[in-house]
Structure 1
Amino acid sequence: MKKNLFILGLMVCSMTMLGQTDKNDTKKENWYFKVGGSYFGQTAATEFPTVGGNLPLNKTYVGGKLVSEESVTGSFGEGFRTGIAAGYRFNARVGVEMGVNYYSSTDKTMAQTSTDANTPTIYNFKSVGKITAFDVAPALVLFLGEHSGFEPYTKVGVIVPIHGDLEITTDATPAVAYNSATSSYVYGNVRSVDQIKPNPTIGFTAALGTSYKLGKHISAFAELEYRNFTVHGKTKETTAFTVNGNDALATRSTAQVHTNYVNRLDVNSNNDLTNPSGLDSTKPKDELSSYVGISGLGLTLGLKYSL
């Protein structure tokens, strides 16, 4: 619903301004190229998916008892983007554009537990996620007419991620790290890094911008852009696993290192919760797939070169 209202608003704005622009504007078709950088803030926060079997919760234990618990919500729509684009104007009003972008989200805490020294059997842990991705973004552009060097425009299109992943780093430390009686660790300090590869997806983007002519071929531009899409997990792989700083990835079974995300678990799935034969540790584990959101509102600044 929000997306439809946003498009409608842009189109109404476009038609209104088109009616007010100079009818004698006779610009010919031409190619142009853009380069820019963006910062996006998240526009919608949802509950994160389960992380390594841990629910998206922030828990606190004191004296072995749970004293607080809250859901962890957020979106990977906050972050930085750099991109280039090529566009073609069919006439003074209508054009198309193809952008190629690299996006890096800010770190987001997805699950966390805090304990004290009187809770030795529960780890302090924190799972932090970060998305990086390359995408292509074809769009239709409506130019609204030039006045005093400024040329406002609207743009609507789609986002097609072509490469990227969600990387989740989990650090776990024991509340009681050292046993003086045995001169050994009671529990080890554990760090794991998981990379989640997505299924193909498609998103939506809409922008309102303006360019300002700096020279015959060079312009500066600014865009306010809204985008919205979700990422659906396909596979997960543990790429790093250390205990007390020592590499321990080789000690992990195939089922602990590799995961296939599925839409349904049943008696044939490689999951000990539903398969009566239990988990086959020599094969990737099956887990229910989950989604993360990448919705945001961003500002892009850059330069445009017109042929």
Structure 2
Amino acid sequence: MIKNSFLVLCVVLCSFTASAQFYVSFSGGYAFGAGEKEFGTNSVLSPTTGGIVDLGTFEGSYGEGVQTQLRGGYFFNEKWGVEVGVGYIYGTDQQFQKVEGLLDMKTRGRAFGASLSGIYNITKNVYVRAGVLTKIAGKTEAVVDLTLPAALTGTGDVKADFTTDFRGKFPLGFIGAAGYKFPITERFSLFAEVEYMAINVTRDTSELGDFNATLNGTINVPADALAQQLAVTPLSELALLLQEELQWGENGLPSPEAPYSSFGINFGITYNFK
């Protein structure tokens, strides 16, 4: 009885792995923002009250941009497989906040991600895959161009441009795709696929990057001096971006989620080891 059961198990395993194969693939493509969230405001400075007048809000997702992926997988049989992947998103600039004539703030994603997915061949050419997604490295950059007239600061004209880098906490999301394979040799095949990623990254820390500022023509004005100038203007909240390092989610500071969801198209090549 035991011998027969062992033989049956061997037959099942052999049939399960008879067509097993390892593969690697590389792809590149473009992703459009999905699940967009509200950013900052589009506004002007009121000439009568000196306050900010909102004209509307900006929305976007840092998942929009050029992306590349390197994936490796293993098919247990002709239908089912599993794969892991790493990718990089070079995000497009997103208009985050604007005050006409005073402030132009754009943000963009520069992030590495990793995924673990199951894959199923519907036919020899058509497949689908789905799994979990996370961000493993990278940052969201805020690029600020600021012009403050003496009438606002009370001390002199200010001109500044700087970047602030935001890093997030470990997130988990969903990744899914459907594609079509074009075999070109026994080992190589081309593919095209549509892919959806749903993920948000909670803000953790920020760090001041490149910084340049002038006050009444005086160059190399330090960041803390600019923060003091901002404190008496309607743009005082920007002073937080001038901190050398800042921990968000503590001491009353918010810890918002940065949207990284996208819907994109990838084109790539696969190499099968068997």
The CA distance in 2 between the partners of 1:158 and 1:228, in whole Å, is 9
Instruction: Show the counterpart of 2:204.
Output: 234
Q: How far off its partner does 1:186 sit?
A: 2.5
Q: When you count helix as a share of all residues, which structure comes out higher?
A: 2
Instruction: Show the counterpart of 1:209.
Output: 179
Cα pair distance change 1:290/1:141, threshold 3 Å: same
Pick from 55, 63, 68: which aligns with 1:77? 63
Kindly indicate whether the alpha-carbon contact (under 8 Å) linking 1:102 and 1:133 is maintained by their aligned counterparts in 2.
yes
Cα pair distance change 1:249/1:158, threshold 3 Å: farther
2:114 is aligned with what amino acid? V
Pick from 34, 47, 64: which aligns with 1:63? 47
Alignment of 1:141-220 (within 5 A): 141-146=119-124, 151-175=125-149, 186-220=156-190
Aligned residues: 235
Kindly indicate whether the alpha-carbon contact (under 8 Å) linking 1:259 and 1:287 is maintained by their aligned counterparts in 2.
no
Kindly indicate whether the alpha-carbon contact (under 8 Å) linking 2:29 and 2:265 is maintained by their aligned counterparts in 1.
yes
Pick from 32, 40, 47: which aligns with 2:38? 47
Kindly indicate whether the alpha-carbon contact (under 8 Å) linking 2:87 and 2:112 is maintained by their aligned counterparts in 1.
yes
The CA distance in 2 between the partners of 1:249 and 1:207, in whole Å, is 48
The CA distance in 1 between the partners of 2:168 and 2:38, in whole Å, is 18
Alignment of 1:87-98 (within 5 A): 87-98=73-84
SS of match in other structure, 2:253: strand
Q: How far off its partner does 1:100 sit?
A: 1.1
Cα pair distance change 1:249/1:134, threshold 3 Å: farther
Q: How far off its partner does 1:85 sit?
A: 0.8
Cα pair distance change 1:248/1:174, threshold 3 Å: closer
Q: How far off its partner does 1:251 sit?
A: 4.5
Q: How far off its partner does 1:192 sit?
A: 2.1
Pick from 83, 106, 124: which aligns with 1:128? 106
Kindly indicate whether the alpha-carbon contact (under 8 Å) linking 2:41 and 2:54 is maintained by their aligned counterparts in 1.
no
Aligned sequence identity (%): 25
Kindly indicate whether the alpha-carbon contact (under 8 Å) linking 1:136 and 1:161 is maintained by their aligned counterparts in 2.
yes
Q: Is residue 297 of structure 1 aligned with residue 263 of structure 2?
A: yes
5+ residue gaps, structure 1: 1-25, 49-55, 116-123, 178-184, 270-285
1:240-275, CA deviations, whole angstroms, 9 ceiling, x for partnerless residues? 32213944446569983221111x6xxxx3xxxxxx
The CA distance in 1 between the partners of 2:103 and 2:219, in whole Å, is 18
